[in-house]
């Protein structure tokens, strides 16, 4: 099973990808998580991309494409994978076609006003990337990760200015991918507005027939 999760920031791609990856025992590959891991560990890549992520702009295509090409060539991707947050530009989508055979793209749709509420209530466990929401998916103990008990943080790009920038970048550079994949007959629409449980159930139906 090879899947792409497409959609604006905060649509719930990461939340659903975690569950589907567990169900099918395939890796959940989030380019955002890879960049943040490198930033947290102050690697050369992390130092290169930190200010880009904080500003809400996109990391350059060539760098991102090389990273994903390399990741997909690893052994754990042999039986499938979920790409979350890649591709984000037409250039990335075209490059991906040259090194994968993905046929199924799930597009998460959600109005902007809900996105802002979801992102401003998001809390993250920095080391694992586990994600919560203060209202919709709260941790057992407020402010603490369920597994380790460590403090949860607010992502540095979940400030209102950065959220607005990410949305603008999404409409300009990523939204055209819907047409790109629709024209190839690969696009499946998901209404990402309902509760996580309802979104998960509609995804399962699509994946059963995909
Ligand atoms: P990335 O990490 O990919 O961020 P994003 O696309 O903006 O997506 P998010 O992680 O913000 O949202 P999500 O849809 O995963 O939502 P989540 O499940 O967390 O990218 C970050 C940055 O990295 C980019 O800005 C860019 O700079 C760079 N980058 C990454 N990929 C790149 C690429 N390919 N090319 C170039 N640059 C790239 O859910 C959000 C919140 O809502 C959570 O609190 C969650 O608990 C809650 N929630 C989820 N589902 C529901 C629901 N159904 N109901 C209520 N609440 C819900």
Domains of the chain, each with CATH number or no CATH: 2-209 (3.40.50.300)
Instruction: Return the residue whose CA atom lies nearest to atom 39 of ligand 1.
Output: 12
**pLDDT beyond 80 at 209:** no
Per residue in 10-25, pLDDT (tens digit) is 999 999 999 999 999 9
> Is residue 45 over pLDDT 90?
yes
| Residue 202 CA, ligand 1 centroid: distance in Å | 19
Q: Residue 53's pLDDT is what?
A: 93
Residue with tokens 């970048």: 169
Pocket test for ligand 1, best of 15, 38, 113, 162 (most atoms within 8 A of CB): 15
| Distance in Å, CA 148 to ligand 1 centroid | 22
133 CB near ligand 1 (under 6 Å): yes
Which atom number of ligand 1 is nearest to the Cα of residue 133?
Answer: 44
Nearest Cα to 37, choosing from 158, 162, 121, 127? 127
Is the minimum distance from the CB of 35 to ligand 1 under 6 angstroms?
Answer: yes
For residue 14, report the distance from its CA to the centre of ligand 1, in Å: 6
Using alpha carbons, select from 2, 7, 3 the residue that is nearest to residue 191.
Answer: 7
Examine residue 87 and say whether the peptide bond preceding it is cis (omega within 30 degrees of 0).
Answer: yes
Longest dimension (CA), the chain: 46
Q: How far apart are CA 64 and CA 84, in angstroms?
A: 13
136-178: per-residue pLDDT in tens?
899 999 999 999 999 999 998 998 888 999 999 999 999 999 9
- Token code pair at residue 129: 């990337």
pLDDT for the residue numbered 128? 86
Number of H helices, E strands in the chain: 9, 7
Average pLDDT over residues 114-118: 92
Provide the pLDDT for residue 159: 87
By alpha-carbon position, which residue is closest to atom 48 of ligand 1? Answer: 12
DSSP string across 125-192: -TTT--EEETTTB--SSTTB-TTT-PBPB--TT-SHHHHHHHHHHIIIIITHHHHHHHHTT-EEEEE-
The answer to whether residues 3 and 106 touch, using CB atoms and an 8 Å cutoff, is yes
20 touches 3 (CB < 8 A): yes
Cβ of 52 less than 6 Å from ligand 1:
yes
What local confidence, expressed as pLDDT, does residue 93 receive?
A: 97
Degrees to nearest 5, angle at CA 55 with 51 and 56: 120
Question: Tokens 């992102």 belong to which residue?
Answer: 119
Just list the catalytic residues: 13, 88, 122, 155, 166
| pLDDT for position 73 | 95
Q: Do residues 49 and 60 lie in contact, with contact meaning Cβ atoms separated by under 8 Å?
A: no
pLDDT score of 210 more than 80 = no
Rounded Cα distance, 52 and 20, in Å:
29
The stretch 107-112 carries a mean pLDDT of 96
Q: Is the CB of 38 under 6 A from ligand 1?
A: no
The pLDDT, as a whole number, for residue 59 is 98
51 CB near ligand 1 (under 6 Å): no
Residue 155 Cβ inside 6 Å of ligand 1? The answer reads no
């Amino acid at each position: 099973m090879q899947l792409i999760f497409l959609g604006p920031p905060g649509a719930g791609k990461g939340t659903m990808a975690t569950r589907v990856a567990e169900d099918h025992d395939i890796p959940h590959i989030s380019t955002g998580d890879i960049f943040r891991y490198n930033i947290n560990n102050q690697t050369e890549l992390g130092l290169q991309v930190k200010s880009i992520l904080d500003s809400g702009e996109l990391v350059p295509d060539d760098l991102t494409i090389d990273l994903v090409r390399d990741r997909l060539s690893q052994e754990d991707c042999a039986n499938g994978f979920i790409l979350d947050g890649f591709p984000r530009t037409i250039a990335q989508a075209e490059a991906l076609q040259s090194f994968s055979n993905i046929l199924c793209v799930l597009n998460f749709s959600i109005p902007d006003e809900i996105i802002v509420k979801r992102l401003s209530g998001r809390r993250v466990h920095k080391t694992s990337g586990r994600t919560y929401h203060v209202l919709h998916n709260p941790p057992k103990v407020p402010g603490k990760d369920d597994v380790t008990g460590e403090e949860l943080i607010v992502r540095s790009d979940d400030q209102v200015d950065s959220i607005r920038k990410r949305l603008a970048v999404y409409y300009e550079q990523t939204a055209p991918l819907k047409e790109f994949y629709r024209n190839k007959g690969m696009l499946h629409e998901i209404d990402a507005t309902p509760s996580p449980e309802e979104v998960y159930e509609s995804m399962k139906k699509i994946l059963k027939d995909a």
